[in-house]
Amino acid sequence: MTELLLLSLFTGWILAQEKNISLLFEEPFLITSAGQSADVQLASILAKRAGIASVLSKLATPEELENAKTLVLVLGASLKGLGAAGLDMEKEKRRVNSIIEEAQKKNIPILCLHLGGEARRGQLSDELASVCLARAKMAIVVKGGNKDGFFTRKCREYNIPLVEVEKTVDALMPLMQKQISG
Amino acid sequence: MLKNKKVRPLRAISLLLLVAFFLAFFSSCQYKEVKIRKPPSNRHQSFNFLARKGMVVAAHPLAAQAGLEMLKEGGNAVDAAITASFALNVCEPFASGIGGGGFMVIYLASEKRITIINFREKAPSKTFAEILKEKEETKNFGLAVAVPGALAGWSYALRKYGTRNLADVMEGAIEMAEKGFTVSQTLSLINKDEFEKLILNAGEKTCYLNQGLPYEPGDLFENPELASTFRLICSKGIDEFYQDEIAKKIVKAVKDKGGVMTLEDLAAYEPIEQTPLEGSYKDYRVFTVPPPGSGGIHLIQLLNIIENWPIKKWGHNSTPYIHHFCEALRFIFSDREHYLGDPDFVDIPIARIISKEYAAEVASKIKPDRLLDDYPFGEFEEKAQKKESTTHLCVIDQEGNIVSQTQSINDFFGSGIVPEGTGILLNNHMDDFSSAPCSPNAPRPLQRPVSSMGPLIIFKKEEPFLVLGSPGGTRIFSSLTQIIINIIEFGMSLDEAIEAPRFFSFSEQGKAGSISLESRFPAQTLETLKRIGHEVTIKEAFDKYFGGAQGIMIIPRKKLILGGADSRRDGYGAGY
């Protein structure tokens, strides 16, 4: 009897955590890049598959937060992506900072995703990631990108939860509505 | 009596010495088995693959191994190169394949002759002047597809210079495509980079995505449709690709994406055999591809200019070396834009461009302590620089035949268009044409676009010494020149030369472009370059922007073959 009670409490606690995550990050999401890597497109596909209402805007400006309830920053710098967007790192940092500030003014929570694994790390990516994580509510990263513990250290420093997933396809699983109990 | 007693020991000693001499002589003639060493786990650490009889170096271990197996089975260098090419189509699909084109440099040892097989793609017959502009405006990616030449080129080389048939050289690739192979980090990252293009042009169900998402390292990549295509070609010949069912699927796929290729374009495609371009650097002779390959002509030009300077005295990757090298590049890019095109359509003053006199003129203009205000001739389009794609392989067989081969589908994963049921990625090499209407490289029907490729073979004292090539778009000839100088002037081993930090520059509208450098250059070097007036852009420590070179070095006096494979991509050597 005691065991059953404990199990029920534990299950309820787990479900409550997931519900807490879903409450923390309401829809619709505005998904944008922090670094212009191609992973932002991937995040959009994952959101669709997870049934999460979202808008993708690779070069999102503060004005685009008008109808959003959550700001998703997909971390990862790509010189190719920056070039294609007509940006350099300084311009991208300014854009990202401006949208983060606007999100904070409007009390819109920020979720950071790092989907590119080990290959999507490097000095440029890490610098921008630090800026984003400092003001985020949570980070979800593919494990391969955290082999050196960079995200673990940063999340601990900024006191935000870190969720690690094995594969990119699992990145938004914690946010899928069907996992949440009413 | 006494005399006899003295003579016997002397005779015995003499006899022993004679025996010892013969033993030493014969043992030196025997090949000592080369110990097969495994490359270090840190791929950036310099490592030369060793062999005695034959070697294949390619951009993927599976392709290198496939080529080596062919050599061991008695195939020659051409057989092995084509075997590796089909294998690369499977295991490095983003960088080359039967949907693309390229160039092959072949050294025939028995004839002491070099020949070039040019299987560069051609513009479709309905190409029009505004085709690139229309492609940008409409996003009809079919307009970027040029008529593929790889299969025709490989088949030609095999028939004329190989000893095996298509079925022999395709067998391993068919099995690999059916059974699959493990995805590397390189493939995964590039797959992620090109995800948007693949979703748009190949669709979510394409095998070039893993259930509609990019492949992760460690995933299994299978391409059963490509295997079926290969089987069809084996049984029916290359006409199946250029005239029959596959041709129809290619044309349909291109037209569905707004392109203009016709069945007649495919049926009419033929590779061409050319005489190599020849240059020299000090005691070394360089043989490489002529235009429309621009890598060769500009590499010779750059070596000619550098020959005027005390490079060794300046030191490897010193500020004066980088400064002078980059200024030379800026002049060369002006020439490239002004002169280079398909020699079947435009006249190119090749002899003038690769002359020592012209090089000395250019070298004399360059100032040691500042940038020049102006770089005469043409323009270099910024857009054209972004490509890092293409692949290179080198082979030497035990007869001494050599193949140096660079091939491509242009951007990684080409156009992203995959004709239904074929598993073939089609190129986007029409993007290699210039959008400037007066350019010698403007798009015209049936013209071959200028290529940056420049596979080469270098001779030292009439014997083959170095086989080299690289992907890397417009950085190809600059990177290859740096590797050659690293070996000849700075005494590096082959792989040391390949792994050494690289840089690149260009000119645009007569003005100096920035210098791009890998992040391993010392801060002081960067500061000095900036003080001279250069703008500096830092890339990753081992950035594939600068290519992924593969090389073979032959050391005849040691009967040794060295293989060097670039850690910037998945390069690997396999020898025996």
Distance CA B324, CA B330 (A): 10
- Helices H, strands E: what count in chain B? 20, 21
Residue B520: CB atoms within 10 Å: 17
Q: Identify whether the C-beta of residue A151 lies closer than 8 Å to the C-beta of residue A162.
A: yes
Question: Helices (DSSP H) in B257-388: which residue ranges?
Answer: 263-268, 294-306, 311-314, 319-339, 350-353, 356-365
Provide the residue type at B520 as one letter: R
pLDDT grade for B485, boundaries at 50, 70 and 90: very high
Q: Residue A4 has what pLDDT?
A: 60
Query: What kind and span of H or E run contains B392?
Result: strand B391-396
Q: Which of B283, B296, B278 is closest to B462 using CA atoms?
A: B283
* B189/A42 CB distance under 8 A: no
Q: Return the half-sphere exposure (C-beta side, CA atoms, 13 A cut-off) of residue B537.
A: 17
Q: Which of B101, B121, B103 is closest to B433 using CA atoms?
A: B121
In the block, which residue shows the tokens 């798009």? B443
If one compares B110 and A17, the residue with the highest pLDDT of the two is B110
Average pLDDT, chain B: 91
pLDDT grade for B105, boundaries at 50, 70 and 90: very high
pLDDT tens-place string over residues A68-93: 999 999 999 887 788 888 888 889 99
A85 Cβ under 8 Å from any chain B Cβ: no
Average pLDDT, chain A: 85
Distance CA B124, CA B262 (A): 7
Q: Identify whether the C-beta of residue B100 lies closer than 8 Å to the C-beta of residue B150.
A: yes
Provide the residue type at B414 as one letter: G
Residue B153: CB atoms within 10 Å: 28
Q: Residue B88 has what pLDDT?
A: 97
CB contacts under 8 A, B 182-211 vs A, are 185-186, 188-189, 192-196, 199, 211
Q: Residue A23 has what pLDDT?
A: 61
pLDDT tens-place string over residues A90-136: 899 999 999 999 999 999 999 999 998 887 888 888 999 999 999 99
- Helices H, strands E: what count in chain A? 6, 6
Distance CA B437, CA B429 (A): 17
B383 Cβ under 8 Å from any chain A Cβ: no
* Interval B150-165 mean pLDDT: 98
Q: Identify whether the C-beta of residue B402 lies closer than 8 Å to the C-beta of residue B551.
A: no
Residue B38 has pLDDT above 80, yes or no: no
Q: Residue B385 has what pLDDT?
A: 39
Q: Identify whether the C-beta of residue B150 lies closer than 8 Å to the C-beta of residue B102.
A: yes
Q: Catalytic site residues of B?
A: 390
* Interval B166-174 mean pLDDT: 97
Question: Using CA of residue B182, residue B188, residue B191, residue B195, what is the dihedral sign?
Answer: positive
Distance CA A166, CA B367 (A): 55
Q: From A169, which residue of chain B is nearest by alpha-carbon distance? A: B213
Q: Residue A120 has what pLDDT?
A: 83
Mutate to test the interface with A, among B183, B186, B197, B213 (most CBs of A within 10 A): B213
* Interval A9-16 mean pLDDT: 50
* A45/B213 CB distance under 8 A: yes
In the block, which residue shows the tokens 């081969």? B405
Q: Identify whether the C-beta of residue B56 lies closer than 8 Å to the C-beta of residue B393.
A: yes
Q: Which of A107, A10, A9, A101 is closest to A62 using CA atoms?
A: A101
Residue A174 has pLDDT above 60, yes or no: yes
Q: Identify whether the C-beta of residue B515 lies closer than 8 Å to the C-beta of residue B529.
A: yes
Distance CA A56, CA B259 (A): 29
How large is the angle between the packed helices B294-306 and B476-488, nearest 10 degrees? 40
Q: Residue A8 has what pLDDT?
A: 53
pLDDT grade for B374, boundaries at 50, 70 and 90: confident
- Residues 6 or more apart whose Cβ sits within 8 Å of residue B467: B394, B396, B402, B404, B456, B457, B458, B551, B552, B553, B554
In the block, which residue shows the tokens 């972004």? B386
Q: Residue A89 has what pLDDT?
A: 85
Query: What kind and span of H or E run contains B395?
Result: strand B391-396
Residues of A in contact with B539 (CB under 8 A): 79
B368 Cβ under 8 Å from any chain A Cβ: no
Q: Identify whether the C-beta of residue B238 lies closer than 8 Å to the C-beta of residue B151.
A: yes
Distance CA A165, CA B62 (A): 30
> Burial letters for B40-77: b for 16+ Cβ neighbours within 10 Å, e otherwise?
eeebeebbbbbbbbbbbbbbbbbbbbbbbbbbeeebbb
Residue B384 has pLDDT above 80, yes or no: no
The partner residue sitting opposite B216, judged by closest CB among A84, A120, A168, is A168
Here the ipTM equals 0.76
Q: Identify whether the C-beta of residue B333 lies closer than 8 Å to the C-beta of residue B295.
A: no
Q: Residue B19 has what pLDDT?
A: 72
CB contacts under 8 A, B 483-542 vs A, are 519, 539-540
pLDDT grade for B29, boundaries at 50, 70 and 90: very low
Q: Which of B7-21, B244-258, B282-296, B358-372 has the lowest mean pLDDT?
A: B7-21
Q: Are strands B277-281 and B284-288 parallel, antiparallel or unpaired?
A: antiparallel
The partner residue sitting opposite A122, judged by closest CB among B192, B195, B540, is B540
Please give the backbone phi and psi of residue B572, each rounded to the nearest 5 degrees, phi first: -155, 145
pLDDT grade for B163, boundaries at 50, 70 and 90: very high
Q: Residue B569 has what pLDDT?
A: 86
Q: Which of A12-21, B2-11, B454-463 has the lowest mean pLDDT?
A: A12-21
Residues of A in contact with B214 (CB under 8 A): 42, 168
List Cβ<8 Å contacts ≥24 apart for A44-50: A45/B199, A45/B212, A45/B213, A46/A115, A46/A168, A46/A169, A46/A171, A46/A172, A46/B213, A47/A72, A47/A172, A49/A172, A50/A172, A50/A173, A50/A175, A50/A176, A50/A177
Please give the backbone phi and psi of residue B8, each rounded to the nearest 5 degrees, phi first: -60, -50
- Residues 6 or more apart whose Cβ sits within 8 Å of residue B139: none
- Residues 6 or more apart whose Cβ sits within 8 Å of residue B543: B502, B518, B568
Residue B121 has pLDDT above 80, yes or no: yes
Q: Residue A7 has what pLDDT?
A: 53
Residues of B in contact with A165 (CB under 8 A): none
Distance CA A107, CA B397 (A): 68
Q: Coil, helix or strand for A116?
A: coil
* B196/A120 CB distance under 8 A: no
Rounded to the nearest 10°, the torsion over CA B244, B200, A125, B521 is: 30
Strand ranges, E, within A25-182: 29-34, 54-56, 70-75, 110-114, 138-142, 162-165
User: How many angstroms separate the CA of residue A13 from the nearest CA in chain B?
Assistant: 33
List Cβ<8 Å contacts ≥24 apart for B232-235: B233/B151, B233/B166, B233/B170, B234/B166, B234/B167, B234/B170, B234/B174
Distance CA B296, CA B444 (A): 23
- Residues 6 or more apart whose Cβ sits within 8 Å of residue B384: B432, B473, B474
pLDDT tens-place string over residues B280-336: 999 999 999 999 999 999 999 999 999 999 999 999 999 999 999 999 999 999 999
Q: Residue B101 has what pLDDT?
A: 98
pLDDT tens-place string over residues B182-225: 999 889 989 988 998 999 999 999 999 999 999 988 999 999 99
Residues of B in contact with A83 (CB under 8 A): 386
Give all domains of chain A, ordered by start, each with its CATH number: 2-179 (3.40.50)
| Terminal-residue alpha carbon distance, chain B | 59
pLDDT tens-place string over residues B439-482: 999 999 999 999 999 999 999 989 999 999 999 999 999 999 99
DSSP-derived secondary structure letter, B456: E
* A45/B193 CB distance under 8 A: no
Q: Residue B98 has what pLDDT?
A: 98
Q: Identify whether the C-beta of residue B543 lies closer than 8 Å to the C-beta of residue B35.
A: no
Q: Residue B250 has what pLDDT?
A: 98
Task: Name the burial class of residue A45, with classes exposed (0-12), middle (13-18) and buried (19+) by CB atoms within 10 angstroms of its CB.
Answer: buried
* Interval B261-275 mean pLDDT: 98
User: How many angstroms separate the CA of residue B393 from the nearest CA in chain A?
Assistant: 25
In the block, which residue shows the tokens 């890049």? A33
Q: Residue A136 has what pLDDT?
A: 96
Distance CA B569, CA B63 (A): 13
User: How much of chain B exceeds pLDDT 90, in percent?
Assistant: 79
Interface contacts (A, B; CB < 8 Å): 52
